[in-house]
Structure 1
Amino acid sequence: MNLRRMAAIVIKELRQLRRDKLTFVMIAGVPILQLVLFGYAINMDVRGLDAALLDQANTARSREAVAEIASSQVLNLSYRLNAAADIDRLLREGRISAALVVPSDFEARLARQDPERPPLQLVVDGSDQTVQASARQLAGYPLPGWTRLNGVEVVNYYNPERLAPLNTVPGLIGVILTMTMVLFTAIALVREREHGNMEMLIATPVSPWELTIGKVLPFVAIGLVQVTVILLVGDLLFDVPVRGSLFELYLASLVFICASLVLGVFLSTLASTQFQAMQMAFFTFLPQILLSGFMFPFQGMPRVAQWIAEAMPLTHYLRLARGIMLRQAGLLEMWPELLALGAFTVVMLALAVTRVHKRLD
């Protein structure tokens, strides 16, 4: 082994890394991004769950009990309801994560102090495990004049047995599509450029819009096949249901697939090599998976982190998939999430086409 020749190779690689600005950014950027996300944005202590209040007793003591629960800051009682049917509607639409119910015989239950009939009931969205965990914090919350430990009865809607696959599988559809669609598209387009095929296509009368959309469409079918595989395996192995419309689930998946593909197309216009495309795709995976609510509670994040998450497609698809599969919600009931995915797709597609157009000049 010749140390001088080996040292020359080492120096050459270091110079190459210095010229490759994207790799240099990734070397420093990924650790910084993880430190910021895990240290600042990720918080398992959930506070401020969007919740509703149904006070059927409406007495001084019931209002005192509600004030005690609100002081825990676990629930943000932003809705005041008059009927139990409103709880089902708001939970199904995803507008609330829990509902605090004060029964009409609240005073009598306080007087009896029967552990089998707690004076308060907390209805929670069981399609999100983090919401379930946060609600259990209130199960033993002390109430005025109540000496038992179970002052609040927690009722899990949509997942009463608290089965983890019911929460995980709908989210995995979005995670898997994010990883494959963005990566496949970005690498495939950069590979075309490296092999010289892109220059030949640009030389044809094909417009930037035709070129971009034509490159995306084949991967749409691949994404729908992946959705089918995940649903079949989830049903066979974990008995994960699709309680809502299967057609609407595929429609929501189609919009999300398009959003992920155009993100991959946009990344391909920034990368010059396949390795750079992989680096940038990974750089978009990390914040989406960590901030979307798939791994960590969305409500526990700081407001700035939530704003960033709202700009990511996985956040909205996660709500759509869980809503349709577990809560039997319809797309019209969750139209803001579908609109956000559509807006992301249009904006990213316009940016990608603009950059393709610049390469034609």
Structure 2
Amino acid sequence: MIREWKRIFSIPNFYVVLLVIPPIIFLFYGFIYQKQFAKELPMAVWDEDQSSVSRTLTDMMEHNEFIQFTQTVYSNAEIEKLMQEGKIFGAVHFPKNLESDAKKNHQSNITLYTNGAYLVPAKMIYKGAAEVIIKGGLAVVLQKAEKQGMPAEKANTLVQPIKLNTTTLYNPDFNYQMYLTPGLITVGLQMALIVAAVLILNLEFKRNTIDELLQISTSSSQIVIGKMLAHLCISWILFVLVAYVVFPVYELGKPQTDFNFFLIYTLMSLACIGIGIMLSAISNNLLFVTDVALFFTSPAFVFSGFTFPRWAMPWYDQFYADIMPYTHFLDGFIKLYFMELPLSYATPEIVKLLVFIGVTFPLSILLFQKKINQYLKENRA
């Protein structure tokens, strides 16, 4: 273990991957989403009615935090051109006779344009504009009823007999920094730990230090466990960096979840180190195992279900997600960190991570012992 510690701090392959790149990436991820919310998205207005109703609705939308009217247009072609140039994310069209149709109890159609190529801004614009238009439509009906002599309370009940109240839990403000930064940081941790771990054994052959290692011990179990402990200690240093430096800097810290977070993080670290050591024990080809590790870890964020539910993926994608430790870590992390649930709620995820650990380390020991025996036999001969 002590020897591995010295190697981690002296070999660039290790300390760059484990100690130099992660802090930079962690701070960079948080910096991307420092505004926390996507507000004041640029929009265009196409007002053919030029009435008090259309102006009122425009003003109401302008006061919505997601919308900012930056362009006035007069045709569909202009809307498409501005979207193609990236100057607007959406537009609203008020047709002719909007106000007169409303007064005559005729239906009028307001058109909302959104750019589906930018999915999140499109949804936010829809959310902001829909709230205003629905309220505006209800206000027109309510005003008519009151003018006809109906009491305000009765008119309000008639116009909106069922009222919807929404409650958003765990990230009620839709804070991008709170949502994305922890997920990106933890997936980055998985990549760093696995990529470093695949170098643990075969670097001994690459750097011709295997004889030095075997002078300490010829037992693969001692070698694997010692190296594992050294890398686990590094992972704990990274945990301290994340939980007590990066998260507080971006106001993401939740001290009440620290122990549970640490526990499931440690299990993920062991699972990642186990996978890396197993790959390292399988092949001495450094380039090959590094490519495999990168191929294996790179899509983790996409397949984990963080941005798209896994149950909606094809079965083979779900299978791929299941063989990545990050997937199960993330499920537990959401329960323990975001929802602040007791540790018992993450039992299924803990068991799955333990399976990774229970399979990869014994296989690594068996495979590497075979290599040691072969190496000693060849050298004695």
TM-score by length of 1: 0.55
2:267–2:354 Cα contact (<8 Å) kept: yes
Partner amino acid, structure 1, of 2:193: M
Q: Indicate the residue corresponding to 1:302 in structure 2.
A: 314
2:173 equivalent to 1:193: no
Q: Which residue of 1 aligns with 2:302?
A: 290
Residue 331 of structure 2 corresponds to residue 319 of structure 1: yes
Counterparts of 1:246 and 1:232 in 2: how far apart (Å)? 9
Pairwise CA distance, 1:277: 2.9
Residue 338, structure 1, aligned to residue 350, structure 2: yes
Aligned to 2:305, the other structure's residue is in SS state: coil
Q: What SS does structure 1 have at the residue aligned with 2:343?
A: coil
Once residues 181 and 333 of structure 2 are traced to their aligned partners in structure 1, the CA distance between those partners, rounded to angstroms, is 9
Are 1:178 and 1:260, in contact at CA under 8 Å, matched by a contact in 2?
yes
* Structure 1 segments of 4+ aligned residues over 6 angstroms from their partners: 136-140
Q: Counterpart of 2:175? A: 163
Max Rg structure = 2
How far, CA to CA, are the matches of 1:163 and 1:243 in structure 2? 19
Whether 1:265 aligns to 2:265 is no
The yes-or-no answer on 1:277 pairing with 2:282 is: no
**Which residue number in structure 2 is paired with residue 235 of structure 1?**
247
Residue 233 of structure 2: aligned partner? 221
1:87 is matched with none
Corresponding letter in the other structure for 1:254? T
- Identify if the C-alpha distance between structure 1 residues 332 and 320 changes in structure 2 by more than 3 Å, giving closer, same or farther: same
The DSSP-based 3-state class of the residue aligned with 1:293 is: coil
Report the equivalent of 1:32: none
Q: Provide the residue aligned with 1:210 in structure 2.
A: 222
Q: Where do 5+ consecutive residues of structure 1 fail to align?
A: 1-129, 141-146
* Equivalent residues in 2 for 1:3-152, closer than 5 Å: 152=164
| Cross-structure match for 1:62 | none
CA distance in 2, matches of 1:243, 1:325: 10
Give the one of 362, 367, 378 matched to 1:350. Answer: 362
CA contact (8 A) 1:267 1:277 kept: yes
- Distance in 1 (CA, whole Å) between partners of 2:208 and 2:127 is 62
1:116-157 deviation line (CA, Å, top 9, x unaligned): xxxxxxxxxxxxxx9xx99x99998xxxxxx97x97543210
CA distance in 2, matches of 1:317, 1:356: 27
**Cα distance change, pair 241–154 in 1 and its aligned pair in 2 (3 A):** farther
Alignment size in residue pairs:
226
Which string of whole-angstrom CA distances, capped at 9 and with x for unpartnered residues, describes residues 146-192 of structure 1? x97x9754321011101012122332342122111111121232221
TM-score, with structure 2 as normaliser: 0.52
Question: Distance between the aligned counterparts of 1:284 and 1:161, measured in 2?
Answer: 34
**Separation of aligned partners in 2, 1:301 and 1:252:** 25
Residue aligning to 2:34: none
1:329 corresponds to 2:341: yes
**Equivalent position amino acid for 1:230 in 2:** V
Q: Would you say the 8 A contact 2:184–2:301 is kept in 1?
A: no
How far does the alpha carbon of each residue in 1:50-106 deviate from its partner, in whole angstroms, 9 at most, with x for none?
Answer: xxxxxxxxxxxxxxxxxxxxxxxxxxxxxxxxxxxxxxxxxxxxxxxxxxxxxxxxx
Residue range with higher mean Cα deviation, 200-209 or 346-355 = 200-209
Whether the 8 Å contact between 1:255 and 1:341 is mirrored in structure 2 is yes
Distance in 2 between the 1:212 and 1:249 partners?
26
* Superposed CA offset, 1:325-355 (max 9, x none): 2211122111000000011111111221121
Q: Give the drift of 1:246.
A: 1.2
Q: Say which SS state the counterpart of residue 168 (structure 2) adopts.
A: strand
Query: Relative to structure 1, is the Cα distance of residues 178 and 352 closer, same or farther in structure 2, using a 3 angstrom cutoff?
Result: same
Is the 8 Å Cα contact of residues 178 and 285 (structure 1) preserved in structure 2? yes
Give the fraction of aligned pairs with identical amino acids, expressed as a percent: 23
